[in-house]
Structure 1
């Protein structure tokens, strides 16, 4: 993550507390691909129900913290569009490939963010970052090339591609949330981004001819769980991001694919093959190395801050 993408941390909470909340949020979000599989709806429809069940809680939280829902900010609207794209691509990735592949590939976000800053903001990264990108991409290729030793997958190549594209939308969502947290509370930002994302998900589900409503009580419970997870997980991450640098946050949330991969193995028998397991570890190592390589450079003593 480059300096331009780092949010200014607030000082009203200890760093350890913000880190603990961030880890909790990432673990909760790790449940999401499992719940998506259990909703008995189409992938985009699952995203719609996730936001629909989260809306009442987000509204209550926003009213309690600010006294009013206010009006949506431009950055909140952008975050809503990016989050809808993120959910749509990721949920379809979960449908076609393994839970682990979908989650790890979608978490190449830090690499995408720094590449975005390099291309569009002309902030040239260090040579070590380029090596980190090569490591992360190599790990992603190993995951795509390897075969799972269990579970029935519909179309792994398509699912892997959709999951990798998710990293782009998630990166833009991450940047929008980081920017929005400089001036807005986490609950209000999430409320308005969800207001924007919810109809977009429903329209996508209808256009794609998906099953909109769950077929049994278990599906409804999974949809409700997605809504609660959205508030607890994304809410915790958004709150912590207002108190931690974005670079730190984007590395800590890599707890998410570890949780998702373990649950995918336990619940769906999606054990990773040797090449896939090595690829997952390599991809995550590349992401961490990219974060370390793109940390702000120390300035000489007496130099004016950039």
Structure 2
């Protein structure tokens, strides 16, 4: 039976859910800063608070989590590396730079598919890669007008590496989705990632327990954000054309930039603002150029 084409009202509803989910995910670097715990510890609490909700969702939609597949296990390892690198990146550089550099993930995914899966990209994609890399490089080497991070080169490098780990996470989730439900994959990736994040926090002797009520609230917010934000994006991206869904990557850095300015006085300098715009334009262009027409992606975007 052919799949029913969504009505105009349903497409507008999906677009609203998509933008809502992207805005929620944009809260992530702010909540990490406010968590009053170590970077890896914040990642542990994010997954720990999300797991009960993900388990309930899995029971409701597919009757329970069953046993984890190798794709779910791989996704859990990759996502824990993603969270660890990104949270440390946020600690050393501005939330805006960390978020923009992390959103180079679509470029990494398509480059991986080209090299290892023999999926040759279009010429437009190569131009988009050059645009995204040029914008990211401009952001990394330029000085902002606000308060600098304690070690911006290290934070930029960690944030850029996060794009690699999240790309591998997306690839594992994409393969896993061919065989099992999103709920089961998200649950098991969290169940695998949480103890790894806890081990990293203990290894680096981080503060594990938030010292304030506000810190606990931020950690709880990270868990809710993980479920609501990722879930909203995954739901909406299955109901919108690729060209529309791809713009989701632009919303998260914008939200992070505004909140970073309001809460932490992190003001972008002119060259950094230009670099951010160029990098995000390259990411959007890469997504438009790299996916077949008429195919809607099913993987959630952003960490």
Cα distance change, pair 227–268 in 1 and its aligned pair in 2 (3 A): same
Tell whether 2:137 aligns with 1:141: yes
SS of residue matched to 2:209: coil
What's the RMSD between the two structures over aligned residues? 2.1
Tell whether 2:270 aligns with 1:274: yes
SS of residue matched to 1:253: helix
Structure 1 match to 2:152: 156
Which residue of 238, 241, 248 corresponds with 1:252? 248
Q: How far apart in 2 are the matches of 1:181 and 1:51? A: 20
Structure 2 match to 1:206: 202
Q: CA deviation at 1:59?
A: 1.3
Structure 1 match to 2:192: 196
| Contact kept? 2:39, 2:87, Cα under 8 Å | yes
Which residue of 287, 300, 305 corresponds with 2:283? 287
SS of residue matched to 2:276: helix
| Contact kept? 2:106, 2:167, Cα under 8 Å | yes
Provide structure 1 residue ranges, at least 5 long, that are not aligned to the other structure.
1-9, 299-306
SS of residue matched to 2:56: helix
| Contact kept? 2:249, 2:280, Cα under 8 Å | no
Question: How many residues end up aligned between the 2 structures?
Answer: 289
Structure 1 match to 2:221: 225
Q: How far apart in 2 are the matches of 1:218 and 1:58? A: 24
Cα distance change, pair 134–159 in 1 and its aligned pair in 2 (3 A): same
Structure 2 match to 1:80: 76
Structure 2 match to 1:184: 180
Q: CA deviation at 1:248?
A: 5.8
SS of residue matched to 1:254: helix
Higher mean displacement: 131-140 or 273-282: 131-140
Q: How far apart in 1 are the matches of 2:189 and 2:21? A: 18
Q: How far apart in 2 are the matches of 1:257 and 1:75? A: 29
Q: How does 1:229-240 map to 2 (within 5 A)?
A: 229-240=225-236
User: 1:136-177, CA deviations, whole angstroms, 9 ceiling, x for partnerless residues?
Assistant: 111001101111211241100010011111111111222222
Provide structure 2 residue ranges, at least 5 long, that are not aligned to the other structure.
295-303
Higher mean displacement: 80-89 or 67-76: 67-76
Structure 2 match to 1:304: none
Structure 2 match to 1:71: 67
Tell whether 2:32 aligns with 1:36: yes
Structure 1 match to 2:299: none
Q: How far apart in 1 are the matches of 2:188 and 2:247? A: 26
SS of residue matched to 2:84: helix
Q: CA deviation at 1:127?
A: 2.2
| Contact kept? 1:44, 1:202, Cα under 8 Å | yes
Q: How far apart in 2 are the matches of 1:212 and 1:219? A: 11
| Contact kept? 1:181, 1:242, Cα under 8 Å | no
Q: How far apart in 1 are the matches of 2:15 and 2:4? A: 13
TM-score normalized by structure 1? 0.88
Cα distance change, pair 89–283 in 1 and its aligned pair in 2 (3 A): same
| Contact kept? 1:22, 1:253, Cα under 8 Å | no
Q: How far apart in 2 are the matches of 1:19 and 1:166? A: 27
